[in-house]
Structure formats: C-alpha cells, structure tokens
Amino acid sequence: MHEIITISVSQRANHLTTQFFNIQEYYLKLSKEEQVNESSIFLNPTIDKSSKTVSYTPRALLWDARTGNGSLGTYQYSETRDYHFGNEGEFKDETVIKTHPKIPKSEYQDALDAGIPPPALSKDNTKYWSDYSKLIYGPSSFNILKDWYHDVANPNQPDFQNLGERRFDRYSIGYDEFTENYLQNFFDGNLHTELEKCDTLQGLNLVTDVESGWGGFSSALLLELKNELPKKTVFSWGFNEKDPFIDEPSIKRLGKKWLPIISNKIRSTINIMQESDLYFPLYASPGLSNWETAGETCRILDSINATVSQNNLAQRKTMDYITTAVTLGDLSRNMVTGIVIGNNDYSFCSRMVPFKNSHTHNGHYTFSSSFIHRENREHRDDNISNSRGKPSEMSTHRYFPSDTIPPEFSNDCEFSLQLTSSEKSRDVFKHWNEFVMRYFKNDNDREELKNELSDYASAYESGWYEDEDSGDDDM
C-alpha cells in the first residue's frame, strides 16, 4: 500500500502535522461511496477481531521539548504517570519531584471525550498542538528532549532545564543534541517500531523549523535516516521566518546581529536539501500563532499528500513522480522555488529580494512548472484530467479542511497548486553566499559552505551572468 511516515520536529511542525492528521481523521468518517483516499497510507489500522472494529493511529514520529505535548500523556489522552501530581501517595519508596505545574486538558479535548460539540478554537486556546488533536497516537510516536523544556511564551525555542538561561537556538546545539543523545535509541526504538508497521514503505515527510536548534537536530536525524533508508523518498518541509533579505531597506541595515539566525537557516537548509528528494521552504507569516500558521500552510502539505494517497488509482502519483515533475531529473534543483495557490505564494523564496545581477527585466527563468488540481468529483472531467498526460499536470480530490483549521484558511476548497523551479532560488543562494563571505570569518565550515552555496546558485542559473564578485573576502 506504499505507506508514508511523517517525522515532525518542533512545536510548530507538530501543529502542522496535527492539522494534517485531523484531516485524515475526517476521511475516516466518510461513507464507502464518499471515500477519497487510501487511509492506510498515512494511518496504521489495528483490527479488533472480537468487536469487529478497526482503530487507526497516525504513522508519525513527533519530536518536542518536555511539556511540549501539553496535557497529552504518552499512552493515551488522559492523565498518566508522565505527571506525578495528586498521586504522590502511590510512590511510597520513591522521591517525587514536581518539575512543573500540571497542564490541564483543553476544553476542546474534554468536549471530544464527552461526545459534545467542541468549543470554537482561537489562538488563545491552541497553545499546544495536543489541545485540538483528534487522533490518538501510539506510544512509539512520542519523542521528547529530556533536558529542554517547552516555553509557552516562546514556543519555538525550548529552554534548557527550564532555567531561563539557555535556548535551543543554535544549529550546532540541535545537531549535537541528536547525535550525542538520541541517534541510537531513536533508530533502534521508535523508528524501528513504526517501520515494522509498514508493508511497503514508500517514503517519509520531515517537517521542521530551520532557524533554531531544531534545524540542526533535523539535519542530523535526516543524515542518519538516509543512511538507514537510502532508497526511500524524503520530502522535507522547513518553516522560515521573516528576515532582512525580504526587502531592500532591511538588507542595507543587515549586520552581525542577524548572524545567529541566518547561519542557522543557511546550514539547516543546505544540509536538509542534500539529504532530501524535494525541499519545500515554507514561509511562516509574521504575527500568526503556530495554530494559525499550521492552518495556513496545511493546504500545501495536504495537497501533496492527497495526490499520493487518493483512491483514484488512475490519478494517484508516487512521491518519485512528483520529484521528477519538479526537478526534471536534476536533483541539484530540489528546492521548490514557488508554492502558489491563486495570488498567494507560500514559499520563503518568493519573498527574497532579487540579487544585484539577477535577470529581473524578463522575469526569472522557470525550469519546471507543475500543477496539482484539486476538484470536486462531480465537477471533474476524468477524461480531461487523464488526457493531460504530462508530469506537470496532476489531479486529486477537493480540499477537506478540518474544523480545527481557522475559518480564514478553510475556504477555496477547489484550487490548483503550482509548484515551480526557477532562477528565483538563485537569489537565495547568492545572498547567502555573500553573507557567508562577509560574516563567517572564523567558521571552520566557511569554505565548504561557500562552495555548496555557489554550486546551488549555479544549478539555478540560465543564460549568462556578469561577474558579480564583491571582493568581500578582502574586507
């Protein structure tokens, strides 16, 4: 059945994964005639022969800081021994240390448990992804950083030992954290457990942040993952926040104060791209909560996954097919430059200011342009869809947003998603290369990064460019 496992790394990534699996939960409620997807691709079915029922758990591995799961226990949606509050008497010969206050279950989860209509969601009652998660995960899905704690006020950068003195904010911190503390146990434990539940694994989705320690953590995880499963397709999804490269005035004020954030982004992106078949640089719009960001970007993640899991076998595509449609076989161009629906581009690349010698007068050259058309079954002309016959034209069922997605991102359920590979990606790598030359003076990997960024920039070039050597190495 060509299963796909989702590995979600960070609080923000877990919000997006939660929204995606809430949609998968909605599919389970459809009648046999209404079914639009093969549920077993993303969900693991467990059959109870005595009651003749089937239960489903996500094929997912979630990484988060301690307390990042909110009230959710490791084994069920109820209070467990993950938290020792109010039951200290059960531990007669043990010392119980209260490390943090108990996190109450959300009203939304209480309503689901009671079988009553849940309350409306807002950014105020969705601080944790578990506040509105609908499916019950298996215990092997949960992976926790033992020394880093979730901070509600700064949810995307965990706090070391909950002391308020050190943040999970550097690429090197995350990279070392995984390789030194979790590599062996994760691959021999929870990952192995999830792999055993698959018959014919097709590939994996990796969702993460790239501007904090989570980027380094994901890079180390992905490097080992490709060594472990070299023939499996990996789509990586990296959240990027606003930075000075998105407008001219900000670039002119660019200085060393941005070095930590941009160095995280550069190293994470390069290393994740090298171990991925496709990389989707998602943009996290400023001012939105993690719940809202996940609701905004879920239609992208869901559109790709709906194409590979739809029950219309004539239209279903593989992850390899989508990879070829975007890269045209050139794996050096595996960053998806444009991720467009209507007038909205969800890609970080599209916001990058053109580099000083970019071909902007005639527009950026497009290497490939692929479409995923999401249409109602009754509105679709299957003959037209099937006759398109090009790798660049794909079709799947309409979008079915969960009721946990903010209303402003739940409309327009029929649309076309355009994925482009263009020279615009060159702007990203040229800006970054110039930044490395100017500010990475004593970094051991400086020359390696310069070479890698130059190679990626060259891969996204079409035609002749004037020599733009700035001579910043001499500054």
What are the tens digits of pLDDT across the range 85-134? Answer: 444 455 455 655 555 678 899 999 999 999 999 999 999 999 999 999 99
Q: Does residue 178 lie in a domain region?
A: yes
User: Residue 136 pLDDT more than 50?
Assistant: yes
Predicted confidence at residue 90, as pLDDT, reads 52
Count of structural domains within the chain: 1
pLDDT > 80? residue 198:
yes
User: Which residue carries 């110039």 as its tokens?
Assistant: 434
Going by DSSP bridges, is the β-strand pair 278-283/338-341 parallel, antiparallel, or unpaired?
unpaired
Torsion sign (Cα): 167, 59, 293, 423: positive
Residue 459 lies in a domain: no
Mean pLDDT over residues 244-257, rounded?
90
Task: Compute the mean pLDDT over every residue in the chain, rounded to the nearest whole number.
Answer: 90
3-state DSSP of 430-463: HHHHHHHHHHCCCCCCHHHHHHHHHHHHHHCCCC
Q: How far apart are CA 70 and CA 374, in angstroms?
A: 34
- Over residues 215-232, the mean pLDDT reads 97
| pLDDT, greater one: 252 or 87 | 252
Domain region containing 108: 4-353
**77 within some domain:** yes
Average of per-residue pLDDT across 265-291: 98
Residue 471 domain-assigned?
Answer: no
- Highest mean pLDDT: which of 161-175, 247-261, 357-371? 161-175
**Tokens 């209260």 correspond to what residue?**
98
What confidence score (pLDDT) does residue 84 get? 41
Q: Is residue 68 part of a domain?
A: yes
Q: Which residue has the higher pLDDT, 362 or 234?
A: 234
For the stretch 438-459, pLDDT in tens is: 999 999 999 999 999 999 999 9
Q: What is the mean pLDDT of residues 160-171?
A: 94
pLDDT for residue 47: 84
Predicted local distance difference test score (pLDDT) of residue 363: 76
User: Which amino acid is residue 396, in one-letter code?
Assistant: T
pLDDT of amino acid 86 = 47
As a whole number of angstroms, the distance between CA 228 and CA 186 comes to 12
Q: What are the CA-CA distances from residue 126 to residues 9, 69, 111, 365, 452 (Å)? A: 18, 12, 14, 41, 40
Is residue 227 assigned to a domain? yes
Residue 472 resides in a domain: no
CATH number at residue 216: 3.40.50.1440
Residues with Cβ within 8 Å of 171's Cβ and at least 6 positions away in sequence, in order, are: 213, 215, 216, 219, 263, 264, 267, 268
Per-residue pLDDT of 1-39, as tens digits, reads: 699 999 999 999 999 999 999 999 999 999 888 999 999
pTM of the model as a whole:
0.91
Q: How confident is the model at residue 364 (pLDDT cuts 50, 70, 90)?
A: confident
Q: According to the model, what pLDDT value does residue 281 have?
A: 98
CA distance 365 to 328: 15
Residue 99: its pLDDT value, please?
Answer: 55
267 assigned to some structural domain: yes
- Residue 473, pLDDT > 60, answer no
Percent pLDDT > 70 in the chain is 88
